A and B are shown apart, each in its own frame.
Chain A
Amino acid sequence: MDFQVVVLAGGNSKNLTPLVSKELPKPLLPVANCPVLYYVLHQLEQSNLKDLIVVVEGEDAALLVGAWISGTFIDRLHVEIAAVPEDIGTAGALRAISHHLTAKDILVVSGDLVSDVPPGALAATHRRHDAAVTTMLCSIPVSGPSESGSSGGKDKAKKLGRYNIIGLDPSKQFLLHIATEIEKDARISKRILHAVGQMEMRSDLMDAHMYAFKRSVLQEVLDVKDTFQSLKEDVLPYLVRSQLKSEALLNRTPQGEENGNEKVSSQNNQAFISRILANASTPSFHGIYSKNPDGSSSTRKTHKCCVYIASSSSYCVRLNSIQAFMDINRDVTGDADHLLSPNNIIGPSPKLGTKTTVGPNCRLGEGSEMGDKCQVKRSIIGRHCRIGSHVKVVNSVVMNHVTIGDGCIIQGSVICSNVQLQERVELKDCQVGAGFVVTAGSEYKAESLAKKEK
């Protein structure tokens, strides 16, 4: 279909500090015992997109990710791993691989997107409107499990800042305004407002970081505006702002390369045909605007910024905070369990002690052992964990190779790989970084514990 797919997998993320580390870059962060990148790749694979470019920040991370992909999707996907330096931003990453882009349109997907929205839908919308950029919007997920009470106090405060202010045209097909943060005042182009006549401002939608770009436009923007760092904060708003005065962005050469003698007539006919086509199609405000104001032939250059709004029933969340991580873990095992392909759901049944109960919506990885009288509810336990007796794990994520001593109580926490919890530790809403050792009898509440980096 002449689409090239770029997965921006990222590398280290500051938002997820204790969870990700050098050894475990963000793309490999397990969500329900499955790296988060898997969800994106799986979704793309289901859509029959098998040639991918995965961009990873940092050489080491790229090696790790590459090893994992080749191990998991061997023979199924054709993936090129591109390592880019850290902290150059999404736009920078694209700029770095710009010379690899050849297809007519580029689909850019963020590697931390856990979604069941088919990317084809976005691509189809993009093609149908012949847009310069199409972005996917989804409704903002319900944040924070209600039962976890006070869990996300500070996360919620953060979330407020992540709201997008999005302006749509009445047909909800075109993007007229996008701003990331709530600012004191939003600047809206008068020209756009005038051309459209009516704008709908929404704050209940979220940019899902799945974009379809016209390659020529993307490359030109990246070339010309070399200070742009982020797709979302720089490139997209720029394209939206300039959609009615596109600065030679779309130097769409008219297809008819006339050959000498019949130049005039063929041009004439081209104009004729395009007029027929233009009259027959439902005009968007771009078209009307470009013809305005006096019907003169000098058309103004415009490009279209479209949106694809995912239906509210579909699942679409980005893993960009610890709270989101918890939410996704909960949803993937619960409501949105169709995201996992069947072979990932149940590992070989772990060894359970007597009177140990495992509640619903749990995942237990292979080779994990549990002592007597344990309780596991709404939690995910990774591979090869050793859990002593009288342990209670609720609403938590326990990754691989974790040792938990007897009598621990873990609530709403994330415990990374190779962590050792000695006896009678109580954790509530904590994040424990990889390789940390929690001494016996300690109690923590809403803290983030990690080994000191040397």
Chain B
Amino acid sequence: MNPNPNIDFSHLCFLLFLQKSTKFFERQLSMDARRMSRAVPRVRQVGFFTPNTPAQQPQPQSAAPSSESPPLSDSPASNSLSPVMIPPPRHLSDNLGGRTAAVPVPGREISGELPTVGSYNPSESVLWLDSPPRSRIGDEELSEGAESSLGWYRRSDSAKFASSLPSGGFNLSTAKHPESVAAVEAKNPLPEQSEVQKEQASSSKPLKAKTTKAERRALQESQRAAKAASRAEANKSGTPGGAPSSKPMKQPPQKKDGPPVASSIAASERIGVDRSVEKERKKDLPPPRKQFDDESRGGRAKRRSVLNQPEARNRVELFRHLPPHKNGTQLPSLESKFFELHEKHPAVYKVGLQYLAGDLSGGNARCIAMLQAFQEAIRDYSTPPEKTLTRDLTSKIGGFVSFLIECRPLSMSMGNAIRFLKSRIARLPLTLSESEAKTTLCSDIDRFINEKIVLADKVILRHAATKIRDGDVLLTYGSSCVVEMILLYAHELGKQFRVVVVDSHPMLEGQKLLRRLVVKGLSCTYTQLNAISYVMHKVTRVFLGASSIFSNGTVYSTVGTASVAMVAHAFRVPVLVCCEAYKFHERVQLDSICFNELGDPDAISKVPGRVDVNYLDNLTDKQKENLELLNLKYDATPSDYISVIVTDYGMIPPTSVPVIVREYRKEYLLI
């Protein structure tokens, strides 16, 4: 993965934002991200789905002796390649930013193939006659609007992941079942775009040729051995030698099935499969996240919500889609409803209040507090008559979660923990009695806390401490509980080092950390973020905490972290991000605009304890209309600036995050 295109893309994002297409693009991107994120498991499912389709098709058609290749015939070839072949170029064009740029690539392949097929085939005309209906089918399938192009991106990225994975099994399955669902899906957009692409071919070609060739060729090479025969069929120019292997032998008959009727049947079947897959995929996806500037969607949620939303006035245009900050103004109204919300368990309520009042912050602490509250709620839970524990408890937990979200948006880590808990509930054996089920769940929660947080932290300590040498000057930003523990642990080991604590308004969390460190006898330097470039040249290591790490290696952390990491990068200081693996998230995020959290805008306009700094105080209401305050809570640090991520699975480069996410998710379902 070369990172530069990523940056380009984020730049482009920004430009687009400035072009006031904010919301549309925003939503698209978020969907994109979700799809991408889902992509890894989907690709792996392919193997399971395929047997249906090909099993039906080849049997009746294999008898057809004709050597012509109908419209579909070329698709297996490209299909079989597509999951591996096509992605890299798309990935690239994707990075170049234009959807139009993404389109031509697959099309070009077809256009490259079609003529060769035609020249080879006796029935060239059939092919061209057939293509219009096919494109219609394609349109039909794509009638869900932007779905296709989005799906396109998704796939491209899935393949990007796939390519980075050990792809042996994957290759095998595609080789066995060339008509695999994924392949069909991948094909869909092609026809529609083939015309467009032809027009653009000339303009876009040079670009692609430059960027894609190397990668594509590498992949081609790797695939060539497995698919030599199919290739030989498809583009006659390929090597003729590989044909007689047993697996590829299956393909030719299939390809040579003559009747367009059969092909249309096959196509329709495919559509069916495709739709069901599509549906399933939709089911898989989490519901689209609420956009707070979206009136139509906001309405229902508003009616349901416990807290009333403050109006979106005086908020920065670019961030209007984020949920507004609720602290302070909302606390009294929530408090006064204390007894009315009796369906919320007191423990959950307490945690919610603490989130809202800002008494409790920090990813781990919030997650632990939430889990312990759930634990208490589960202990007090009794299944109402005529309901099953599994369903009722799940909905109950859901209610708690939505209450907590209203108090403060959840962090990724909490989302993961909730997903874990819900999966545990869903997997409870029906034979368990209620009390058994409850104790099982409680011990599961305990184990989650112990293994994923406590033990993980201890492992991280050990790993990170090996990177601290005598005489080091360590810099940290804000107050991360893992980093604090690392520093204390290293100090206990007797290592000689100094700590620079960098802090920023308005939270000034660093002071809390500083106090604890100084009390323990570490020698510290305290400075504000503004002075970061002046202290950095003395620093030998930067330790940072994280709220979450995304699949593309982006580190989502307290606002200011990105600046620290970038400055460190510029000074060639290694940046170590310490983060428990349960905070990893399969989402891909490129900027900190799509998903973020807004803090209390008043917190930045007022300086606590400084009465003389009151320049913003006595503005009239009219003047205040011109003032927009932005207090962002998080930012995203691109993976380029991260040297290593210290996690409970060891020290890994940011590129390995998706691997952990994949392996880890499997494991934590099994706990």
**Interface of A toward B, CB cutoff 8 Å:** 1-3, 47-49, 104, 118-121, 123-125, 127-128, 130, 269, 272-273, 276-277, 279-283, 295, 311
Contacts and interface: CB of A to CB of B under 8 A. Distances in A.
Top-9 shortest CB links A-B: A120-B338, A280-B365, A280-B362, A124-B335, A118-B336, A121-B335, A124-B338, A128-B353, A47-B339
B368 interface: yes
A141 to B, nearest CB: 20
B334 interface: yes
A358 B358 CA distance: 53
Interface in B435-494: 449-450, 453-454, 457, 479, 481, 484
A361 B350 CA distance: 42
29 contacts: A1-B338, A1-B339, A1-B342, A47-B336, A47-B339, A49-B339, A118-B337, A118-B338, A119-B339, A120-B338, A121-B332, A121-B335, A121-B336, A123-B335, A123-B338, A124-B338, A128-B353, A128-B359, A269-B449, A276-B362, A276-B365, A276-B481, A277-B368, A279-B365, A279-B481, A281-B354, A281-B365, A282-B361, A295-B519
B362 to A, nearest CB: 4
Interface in B406-455: 449-450, 453-454
Contact of B336 (A120, A279, A283): A120
A120 B335 contact: yes
A123 B339 contact: yes
Nearest to B449: A273
Interface string B352-378: 011001111110111011000000000
Interface of B: 332, 334-340, 342, 346, 349-350, 353-354, 357-362, 364-366, 368-369, 449-450, 453-454, 457, 479, 481, 484, 512, 516, 519-520
Contacts of A276: 362, 364-365, 368, 453, 481
Given A120-B337, A125-B335, A273-B449, A1 B368 contact: no
- Find the residue from B338, B450, B520 having the highest chain A CB count within 10 A: B338
Contact of B512 (A120, A273, A279, A295): A279
Contacts of B361: 280-282
A348 to B, nearest CB: 34
A294 B361 CA distance: 26
B339 A48 contact: yes
Contacts of B360: 277, 280-281
Given A269-B450, A277-B369, A127 B350 contact: yes
- Find the residue from A104, A273, A281 having the highest chain B CB count within 10 A: A273
Contacts of A277: 360, 365, 368-369
A24 B364 CA distance: 59
Nearest to A278: B365
B440 to A, nearest CB: 16
A118 B454 CA distance: 40
Nearest to B356: A128
Contacts of A121: 332, 335-336, 338
Contacts of B481: 276, 279-280
Given A279-B516, A280-B364, A281-B359, A311 B332 contact: yes
B340 A48 contact: yes
Given A2-B346, A47-B338, A120-B336, A295 B520 contact: yes
A127 B346 CA distance: 8
Contacts of A281: 354, 359-361, 365
Contacts of B335: 118, 120-121, 123-125
A280 B368 CA distance: 11
A166 B334 CA distance: 26
A58 B207 CA distance: 96
Contact of A3 (B339, B519, B520): B339
A263 B640 CA distance: 45
A295 B518 CA distance: 11
Contacts of A124: 334-336, 338, 349, 353
A311 to B, nearest CB: 7
B362 A120 contact: no
A121 B330 CA distance: 12
A273 B368 contact: yes
B359 A127 contact: no
- Find the residue from A47, A49, A280, A281 having the highest chain B CB count within 10 A: A280
A280 B453 CA distance: 14
A192 B31 CA distance: 55
Contacts of A273: 368, 449, 453-454
B346 A1 contact: yes
Nearest to B367: A276
A311 B484 CA distance: 40
Given A280-B361, A281-B365, A272 B336 contact: no
A120 B353 contact: no
A127 B337 contact: no
A50 to B, nearest CB: 10
A48 B344 CA distance: 14
Nearest to A282: B359
Nearest to A126: B338
A283 B362 CA distance: 14
Contacts of B337: 118, 120
Nearest to A292: B519
B382 to A, nearest CB: 15
Given A1-B349, A128-B350, A128-B359, A120 B339 contact: yes
Contacts of B512: 279, 283
Nearest to A268: B454
A3 B364 CA distance: 30
A128 B339 contact: no
A143 to B, nearest CB: 26
B131 to A, nearest CB: 62
A3 B457 CA distance: 37
A280 B340 CA distance: 29
Contacts of A280: 360-362, 364-366, 481
A120 B331 CA distance: 12
A2 B342 CA distance: 9
A47 B359 contact: no
A3 B338 CA distance: 11
A103 to B, nearest CB: 10
B520 A120 contact: no
Contact of B340 (A120, A272, A283): A120
A130 B369 CA distance: 14
A311 B333 CA distance: 12
Contacts of B457: 272
Contacts of B519: 295
A152 to B, nearest CB: 33
Contacts of B362: 276, 279-280
Contacts of A127: 338, 346, 349-350, 353
A269 B454 contact: yes
Contacts of B516: 279
A1 B481 CA distance: 32
Contacts of B358: 282
